[in-house]
């Protein structure tokens, strides 16, 4: 290899290692930031409708839905929605109705489709039961504290706010695959959101929570405007920002159950996640290689031919990676998981690379093709 080519590789490798090191330190610092949640004064709290689209009896469904019934908030209703009267989630809702007879709990059972997204179709069908003008939409696998609703609704009292969204942390069920899924959320996805938020970005919205006023939702065309979008949560936030309204990332961090039972479920879920991000933010997704800090730092060190500066930055990256892991988990849980961090980081790198190979995703046993604008449609399969 000639000298100029070797110098170029060393330079590129060192830059990669430096970028990975810088990001890993930023991610650790961003996750360590703690902001004390502040809620709305209950005397001024507007009445709220919580919208909970459901499909199947997911792991922890009763505990998750029950946490919404126990809110310390003066006036709210919960509207649940299913498309099939025989959905097992219906029995869970009826159990809650018996347990909380004084709460305003309603269920919409309606199988009409209004686009490609079953979830958004469900939301559209639920709207006839929504009594109030402040909405909080939350996925079925989300579990919250009693102060959640008061804290999430508070920013909506500012007319310049379009939506409020929440970060979330994975809560695993038993097993390696569920644990790996939690590490994907807690130590890759959410730290990247925290870094972006620390830098001033608000170009995100998460299905874990979206709070919005009725008139703002109506102004962007209602749920029908996102009925064909795979990333319906992201698009709703984008539409409100186009109106000149702000997105607020709440101080609240909610729990979400992660229930992958095998490797196949884990790969399908995370590939759908990554290809969705690629569809709505193609440039950002391509540049997000830097968030894969340990594999990128290792590749940079190899390209640099083991040059001392690159190796030193690889070591610092590894140290920051461990600090990030420790900041996310309690000490008694962090140590046992250290051995699987390399597996998780390598798997994330492989899936991120694989996400560029196709635009097909699997969701609830169906295959869909994701278009360049984030819309999706079922893949028609031929039979022989």
Cβ-proximal residues to 185 (8 Å cutoff; 6+ apart), any chain:
168, 169, 170, 256, 258
Q: Is residue 188 part of a domain?
A: yes
Both 104 and 242 in a single domain? yes
Place of tokens 């500012």: 158
Whether 171 and 258 have beta carbons less than 8 Å apart is answered as: yes
Q: Is residue 287 part of a domain?
A: yes
Both 219 and 293 in a single domain? no
Alpha carbons within 13 angstroms on the beta-carbon side of residue 310 total: 21
Assign residue 186 the CATH number of its domain.
3.90.550.10
Both 88 and 198 in a single domain? yes
Q: Is residue 102 part of a domain?
A: yes
Q: Which structure tokens are listed for 252?
A: 């609240």
Cβ-proximal residues to 287 (8 Å cutoff; 6+ apart), any chain:
none
The pLDDT averaged over each successive group of 10 residues in the chain (384 residues) is 67 93 95 66 84 90 96 96 94 96 96 90 96 96 94 94 94 87 93 91 90 97 92 92 94 89 90 88 91 95 91 95 87 68 95 88 72 69 46
- Structure letter (DSSP) for residue 274: H
Q: Is residue 371 part of a domain?
A: no
Both 246 and 174 in a single domain? yes
At 60 the pLDDT is: 87
Which of 229, 264, 299 is where one domain is finished? 264
Both 177 and 310 in a single domain? no
At 383 the pLDDT is: 44
Strand pairing report for 48-53 and 76-82: parallel
Both 48 and 148 in a single domain? yes
C-alpha 75/C-alpha 103 separation (Å) is 9
Q: Is residue 271 part of a domain?
A: no
Both 234 and 352 in a single domain? no
Domain with 336, as residue range(s), is 3-32+281-363
C-alpha 264/C-alpha 54 separation (Å) is 23
At 334 the pLDDT is: 55
Whether 6 and 305 have beta carbons less than 8 Å apart is answered as: yes
Strand pairing report for 134-137 and 210-213: antiparallel
Both 147 and 248 in a single domain? yes
Q: Is residue 68 part of a domain?
A: yes
Both 98 and 15 in a single domain? no
**Total number of domains in the chain:** 2
């Amino acid at each position: 290899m000639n000298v100029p080519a070797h110098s170029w590789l060393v330079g590129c490798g060192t830059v990669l290692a430096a970028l990975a090191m810088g990001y890993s330190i930023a991610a650790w610092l961003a996750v360590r930031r703690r902001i004390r949640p502040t809620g709305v004064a209950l005397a001024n709290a507007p009445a709220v409708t919580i919208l909970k689209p459901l499909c199947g009896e997911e792991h922890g469904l009763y505990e998750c839905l029950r946490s919404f019934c126990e809110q310390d908030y003066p006036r709210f209703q919960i509207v649940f929605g299913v498309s099939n009267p025989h959905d097992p989630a219906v029995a869970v809702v009826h159990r809650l109705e018996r347990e909380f007879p004084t709460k305003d709990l309603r269920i919409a059972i309606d199988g009409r489709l209004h686009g490609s997204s079953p979830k958004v179709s469900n939301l559209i069908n639920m709207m006839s039961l929504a009594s109030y003008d402040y909405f909080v939409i939350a996925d079925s696998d989300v579990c919250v504290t009693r102060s959640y609703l008061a804290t999430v609704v508070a920013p909506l009292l500012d007319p310049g706010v379009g939506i409020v969204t929440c970060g979330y942390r994975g809560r695993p069920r038993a097993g390696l695959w569920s644990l790996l899924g939690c590490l994907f959320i807690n130590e890759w996805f959410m730290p990247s959101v925290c870094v972006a938020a620390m830098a001033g970005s608000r170009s995100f919205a998460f299905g874990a929570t979206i709070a919005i006023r009725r008139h703002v939702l109506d102004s962007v065309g209602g749920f029908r405007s996102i009925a064909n979008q795979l990333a319906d949560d992201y698009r709703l936030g984008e539409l409100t920002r186009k109106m000149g309204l702000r997105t607020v990332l709440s101080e609240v961090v909610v729990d979400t159950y992660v229930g992958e039972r095998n490797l196949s479920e884990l790969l399908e879920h995370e590939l759908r996640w990554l290809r969705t991000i690629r569809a709505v933010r193609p440039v950002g997704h391509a540049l997000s290689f830097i968030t894969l800090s340990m594999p990128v730092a290792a590749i940079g060190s190899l390209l640099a031919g083991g040059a001392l500066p690159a190796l030193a930055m690889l070591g610092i990256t590894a140290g920051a990676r461990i600090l990030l892991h420790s900041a996310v988990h309690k000490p008694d849980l962090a140590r046992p998981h250290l051995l699987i961090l390399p597996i998780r980081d390598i798997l994330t790198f492989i899936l991120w690379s694989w996400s560029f190979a196709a635009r097909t995703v699997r969701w609830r046993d169906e295959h869909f093709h994701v278009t360049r604008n984030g819309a999706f449609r079922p893949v028609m399969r031929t039979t022989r």
